[in-house]
Amino acid sequence: MPQHDPHQFYCDECDAPVKGHDRYCHKCGASLGEDAEQISIFNNSHLQTAFFFYSIYLFVCLAVKYTNWFNTYDTLFWVEVLLAIVTLLFARSNWKTIRPLLRTNTIRWYLVLGFMLLAVAFSSVINITINQINTSIFRTDINMYYAYRLYQYPVVIMLYSVALVPALFEELAFRGVLYNQLGHILDERLVVIITGFVFAAIHLNFFSLIWLIPFGIFIGNLRRKYQTLWYGMAFHFAFNLTACLFDLYRQGELW
């Protein structure tokens, strides 16, 4: 008979670990009875933390999108700093569960390269498709480089802001802090889906949900399968870097 963790709940039928509030086993589907604890934002610290953390991100993103305070990178830079600090503070308060996700001794570099190449392919398809839609249907030419070309080192700033910062801090935020908080109360596969959706929603672009939702769910599955953030960060970085290179190519800035 396997030894059970006294703080963990188990299904009586298949012995799979379950959450205390689950009504049905996610593995065999057996009923777990009617005595499941009721989880709400008013009685669960993990859900409260997740809600508060996401609310900060959402408020800041709404302010950036719907006010005129952040029209230049001079001010947007401080938004990036603010969100990075908030993410690090929440990660520090949950360091015992975040730290294992940042270890490098289990990283397989051929997987890093493979996921980055996959991200390049995915991003290329998205960028070519979106550019065709914008030019042929909406008669517009949306280019991220416009916001950075006034600065002394526009390419460096663009790559830092669009590729590096989101890859590091969005992954730490959504697949680290938020994922871990929700993982205390939900099945991990459901957490992957939820964090994928809220990650996509934070970008505040309805059209981009088409690719951001599968993007977020895929990276969430990398986090679940390999128990590390590094593969997701590599994928995220390569995806955004490819988007930057497409924009720079269209502006004639690559050579």
Residue 171 CA from chain centroid, whole number: 5
**Strands 9-10 and 17-18, how do they pair?**
antiparallel
Nearest to 253 by CA among 143, 165, 99: 143
> How confident is the model over 142-161, as pLDDT tens digits?
778 888 988 999 999 999 99
pTM of this structure = 0.85
- Determine the average pLDDT of the residues in 120-125: 97
The string of pLDDT tens digits covering residues 70-91 is: 888 999 999 999 999 999 999 9
In DSSP notation, 213-245 reads HHHHHHHHHHHHHHS-SHHHHHHHHHHHHHHHH
The Cα angle at residue 82 between residues 81 and 87, in degrees rounded to 5 = 100
Residue 1 has pLDDT above 50, yes or no: no
| Mean pLDDT (the chain, rounded) | 87
CA 5 to CA 8: how far, in whole Å? 5
What was the pLDDT predicted at 215? 97
Q: Rounded distance, CA 51 to CA 41, Å?
A: 8
Residue type, 194: I
Residue 94 has pLDDT above 80, yes or no: yes
Q: Give the burial class of 173: count Cβ atoms within 10 A of its Cβ; 0-12 exposed, 13-18 middle, 19 or more buried.
A: buried
